[in-house]
A = this chain, B = another copy of it.
Amino acid sequence: MKADAGHTPPLYFVEPSMVLGNQIVLARETYRHALAQRLSPGERFRAVLGETQYDAVVQEVLSGKITASIVGRTRVAPPPCRIHLYAALLKHQSLDLVVEKATELGMTSFTPVVTRRTIPRLTGEKALAKIERWARVAKAAAQQSGRGSLPEIREIRTLEEVFDSGVAGVPLLAHEHEGLTVDIDSATGGQTEASIIVGPEGGLDALEVERALEKGFIPVSLGPYILKAETAGIAAVAVLMSRMAGCSTTHLSSHRL
Contact = CB atoms under 8 A, between A and B. Distances in A.
Interface of A: 1-6, 8, 97, 101, 104-106, 144-147, 174-178, 184, 198-206, 209, 221-229, 231-232, 234-235, 238-239, 241-243, 247-252
A248 B223 contact: yes
Given A1-B176, A4-B203, A203-B4, A250 B224 contact: yes
Contact of A8 (B3, B97, B226, B249): B226
A223 B105 contact: yes
List the number of copies, as a whole number: 2
B242 A223 contact: yes
Contact of A202 (B5, B176, B198, B242): B5
B5 A226 contact: yes
Contact of A225 (B104, B200, B209, B243): B104
Contacts of A239: 238-239, 242
A225 B145 contact: yes
Given A4-B206, A239-B239, A251 B226 contact: no
B3 A177 contact: yes
A137 to B, nearest CB: 13
Given A1-B227, A239-B239, 8 more contacts: A1-B176, A3-B177, A4-B206, A5-B202, A104-B227, A105-B225, A222-B238, A242-B243
Nearest to A225: B145
A227 B174 contact: no
Contacts of A229: 1
A97 B93 CA distance: 14
Contacts of A252: 224
B243 A203 contact: no
A25 to B, nearest CB: 25
A69 B232 CA distance: 34
Contacts of A174: 1
Contacts of A209: 3
Given A224-B248, A225-B146, A238-B238, A176 B2 contact: yes
Given A4-B206, A203-B1, A206-B3, A224 B242 contact: no
Contact of A175 (B3, B145, B223): B3
